[in-house]
A and B are shown apart, each in its own frame.
Chain A
């Protein structure tokens, strides 16, 4: 075997764990006889040991924080998701609130449609609901998105949503004069603000709950 070339080649293969059984025997046999190669082989192995003992370094203390500070901002969605995971109660409350609000908006803005409570005695003319003279309407009356003209009597509460109470002669009724427009044997309530509508909803909801 030619020294210094073939055998050195075999040494490196040995160090990489690439040596076949036959080659290994070949190398061993050669090393036993050749002192120069033995020395070379020893130096190589020692070199590897030395390399492994090279000085070790650790990253500066605040390394991770510096990296995190330099990262591009994460997607908002994820921030929210993490927040939600961390505050489940608040999340539930928020979802409930949103649902309630949308429910109210939806019932508020069933736009423009005239809605009247179901009482046969009520007469509807265009957007005006009339309680005819001499007629008594039993139960509560609800008029939404329309005008109410009371000539007769209503035996219950009146709720006007987004509408107006008009008197006989068609002129608008001030709040103070409402009672004079026919007879209402109950409370008369006018709702034409979002907030009031919410309040009304809430009240009727609670009333429903309690009567239940």
Chain B
């Protein structure tokens, strides 16, 4: 697959726009998911994921072929989402905690969706809960935990993606793990 992507990138560099569609459809789930986990909002996530691909396309000539394309793409997406979080207006989001409650967000106020029977619900709820707990981490820890355990990058690659020293990645991943350990210990 990597070889195919490398070929496609070459074609895009030559100016063949249609080759980029294959690149997008190969990475779309990963990048969309990454943005969603960073931002916690589906609409914003779609917007940012699209923007990430467009920036990748526009700046394709600054991509060095000898490096991994996925690392480069994640770097663009991560920077975009972090920028977005910084610029965020104090707006009302459904998943923002309701004042005066503990861990209750607007989702819990909505009528729950159709229930699935038995275990499936349990495992889906657990997955959702974990996702929620990860999203509660500060962005600088969250991004690293996600890249390491959900997107399975090596620490060195994470250091490249985030453009921070390897030592810092390690310190943050330690803290992120500890923070989540405390949050998830009673699961």
Contacts and interface: CB of A to CB of B under 8 A. Distances in A.
A1 to B, nearest CB: 18
Interface in B143-187: 145, 149-150, 155, 170, 173-174, 177-178, 180-181, 184-185, 187
B34 to A, nearest CB: 9
Q: Could you tell me the dominant secondary structure of chain A's interface residues?
A: helix
A50 B134 CA distance: 10
Contact of A47 (B32, B53, B174, B180): B180
A53 interface: yes
A72 B58 contact: yes
Q: Interface of chain B, helix or strand or loop or mixed? A: helix
B124 to A, nearest CB: 7
A32 to B, nearest CB: 21
Contacts of B15: 74-75, 77-78
Nearest to A78: B15
A43 B185 contact: yes
Nearest to B174: A12
Contacts of B130: 50-51, 53-55
A181 B174 CA distance: 108
Interface of A: 8-9, 12, 15-16, 18, 40, 43-44, 46-48, 50-60, 63-64, 66-68, 70-72, 74-75, 77-78, 82
Sorted nearest first, the 4 A-B pairs with minimum C-beta distance are A59-B32, A74-B17, A55-B127, A78-B15
6 contacts: A12-B174, A46-B184, A54-B131, A56-B33, A67-B28, A68-B20
